[in-house]
Structure 1
Amino acid sequence: MGTPDFSVPTLRALVDAGHDVVGVYCQPDKQKGRGKQIQMPPVKETAIDLGLPVYQPNTLKDEIVQQELVALQPDVIVVIAYGKILPPWLIRLPKYGCINLHASILPNYRGAAPIHYAILNGDTKTGITIMHMDDGLDTGDIIDIVETDIELNETTGQLFERLAQLGANTISPVLDKWVNGDIQSLPQDNLKASYTSKITKEMGLIDWTQPAHAIVNLIRALNPAPGCYSYFNGKRLKIWTAQVLDGNSNSISINGKLVAVDSSNVVGTIVSTMDGLAVLAGNGTYVLITEVQPENKKHMSATDFINGHQIKGGMCFDK
């Protein structure tokens, strides 16, 4: 049971390991893009390619859907980013239970957006947790955890790809041990649990009064979707990549070169256009923006944006 790209490597890994996949469940097809074209979820496309039966119920509460699942007689159900809450009867249906792959080190970051929040909070480590599902939201007993470092400027999109592959590499050996009784699951410490809320487009508006590290983490966390933005000369400017600069009220260092700055600048001021847009943020810190996307334009380097729009030091992002 899974729906987006994140679930695909795990499905392929289960098939490659020789498991008998009796059914693949994913969300229904949806309209996407300006043309409102009907698109299949990535998991459905993969399942069709692998010759596997696909099921896309609108709800798991329907009696016919329940009969359908019971008839499949699954020994185990592997769940990864399916997007639906499993009812109690389904959690108890398979002989070896429902096994969930969650993209965090549980009990941290339960919920829908664990990868976003790990980057948003500036974490340096994350991982994949494989758990034996129960009736709660990501509260099941832990079967295994595999950790990985979060790289310095890694985005949510990049970390998604790495964790998806980490889950795929982990699932089959862990599943074999689980079914053979070679692994004992351990309960989570609910007192240490944290939860993630849904990521929204509104979260992407940059507040230049925030310190540079918080702004850069937000940009990383919301890349590729929904993306961060600010307003410049009354137009929306998406900001795709940025980094924290070393500096003080008199100078900043850009790629090893010292650049003098005006100590009277207000937050949101562009203090330099060397190698990108160097912007004064909160607490006297600085952000270097390196990739942007002007309104109704394509993604481009900040240098191309500077050259094409005659950007100069002293200009300021809209408040």
Structure 2
Amino acid sequence: MKIIFCGTPKISANILKAIHENKQFEVVGVISQPDKVSNRGMKTQFSEVKKYSLDNGLKLFQPDKMSEIIEEVKLLNADFLVTCAFGKIISEQFLKLFKNCLNFHASLLPKYRGGSPVQFAIMNGDTRTGVCLMQMVKKMDAGGVYCKREIEIGDSDDNEIVFDKLTNAAIEIVSNDLLKVMKGEYEIVPQDESKVTFAFNLKNNEEQIDWTKSAEQIYNFIRALKPKPLAFTYLDGTRINVLDAELPIIVPMIYLPPGTIFSIEKNGMLVMCGGGMINLKVIQKEGKKPMETKTLKGNSEYIRKQFKI
């Protein structure tokens, strides 16, 4: 089976690797997003999919618009398009180049259509999620589902851990199901439109901590954005990223305005939330190195200061 693969981040590269190493498939082309320039040092950043493609001599496309490469892709005579976290809308005209177009989506559809399903699952405190192999259609993430694998989300799992679990689940689909789907051996199951929810890409301002929420909600929010892009807050006008946090076992029976620093102990910085308290363990002031908050123990200037709500 000749395949064109589309993808950008680490999970995509791992799925591409699994397909490329499987002798039942022939990857005749790879499409990834154009290179990005980092804010620091102005260095060009390659996507993980590009890195894998270059290391393994795969034909690579990085178009600004998919229409730019239609004629070249036609010449490759690929049977199937397979995508995962590509990050660009693929036109119906492009999809029509293939017998079928398949997408690995990191949620249990119809829940969490969109670009941030893993983050939303953790944010909402879900204990399970999964990956679906679905048919691509013009409407975003709305195609029928051929098969899926479920995984557990642990109480302390961040998005990196969950992505690793989903990667293993997707690789299992590549090994056991992908060829059968391509041969038409699997029945496609339409999504229940009455149960659709969305997980759109978060904007920068949506990554700020809302201290009026409960401690559990804030903890889930922090781990959903860890290790990147990271949840952030402001103290005295300075942006502070939160790299690590936990829910304290014992919470003092006291009320302070949400966002107020109650104390700094050997385990970290206790901060009042809309309900309960959270312990910030590692923070990073803008332009500074990460810092364990326990090193501030005894520094009274922070006590009763309030993070911006």
TM-score calculated relative to the size of structure 1: 0.88
Per-residue deviation, 1:165: 3.1
Q: 1:26 and 2:29 equivalent?
A: no
**Is 2:286 aligned against 1:289?**
no
Q: Aligned residue for 2:119? A: 116
Q: Find the aligned partners of 2:18 and 2:207 in 1 and give their Cα distance.
A: 35
1:264–1:139 distance in 2 versus 1, CA, 3 Å: closer
Match of residue 78 from structure 1? 82
Within 1, Cα distance between the matches of 2:104 and 2:160? 18
Structural RMSD (CA): 1.9
Of the candidates 36, 42, 63, which is equivalent to residue 48 of structure 2? 42
Unaligned runs of 5+ in 1: 253-260
1:221 is matched with 224
Pair 1:317-2:309 in alignment:
no
Rounded Cα–Cα distance in structure 1 between residues aligned with 2:44 and 2:235: 35
Counterpart selection for 2:161 from 154, 158, 163: 158
Cα offset, 1:115, TM superposition: 0.8
Shift of 1:298: 1.2
Displacement, 1:61? 2.2
Question: Over alpha carbons, which structure has the higher Rg?
Answer: 1
The separation in 2 between residues aligned to 1:84 and 1:135, in whole angstroms, is: 12
1:79-118, Cα deviation, whole Å (9 max, x unpaired): 11112212113223222x0110001000000011111111
Q: Hey, what's the Cα distance between the residues in 2 that align with 1:170 and 1:114? A: 19
SS at match of 2:27: coil
Q: Does 1:236 align with 2:227?
A: no
Cα displacement (A) at 1:311: 4.5
Distance 1:207 1:86, change over 3 A: closer
Identity %: 33
Residues 277/72 of structure 1: CA separation in 2 closer, same or farther (3 Å cut): same
In structure 1, what residue type is equivalent to 2:9?
P
2:104 corresponds to which of 101, 105, 111: 101
Q: Which region of structure 1 is more displaced relative to structure 2, 267-276 or 148-157?
A: 267-276
- Stretches of structure 2 that go unaligned for 5 or more consecutive residues are 1-5
Task: Give 2:10's aligned amino acid.
Answer: D
1:137 shift after superposition: 0.4
| 1:237 to partner: Cα distance | 2.2
Residue 191 of structure 1 is matched in structure 2 by 194
Change (3 A) 1:300 1:127: same
1:234 to partner: Cα distance = 4.1
Residues 290-312 of structure 1 deviation map (CA, whole Å, 9 limit, x = unaligned): 111123221232213x14x8257
Partner of 1:83, secondary structure, is: coil
Q: TM-score under structure 2 normalisation?
A: 0.91
Matched, 1:8 2:13: yes
Residue in 2 aligned with 1:173?
A: 176
What is the one-letter code of the residue matched to 1:78? V
Deviation at 1:230, TM superposition (A): 2.3
SS at match of 1:160: helix
Aligned residue number for residue 279 of structure 1: 271
Distance in 2 (CA, whole Å) between partners of 1:159 and 1:50 is: 27
Q: For residues 177 and 292 of structure 2, what CA distance do their matches in structure 1 show? A: 43
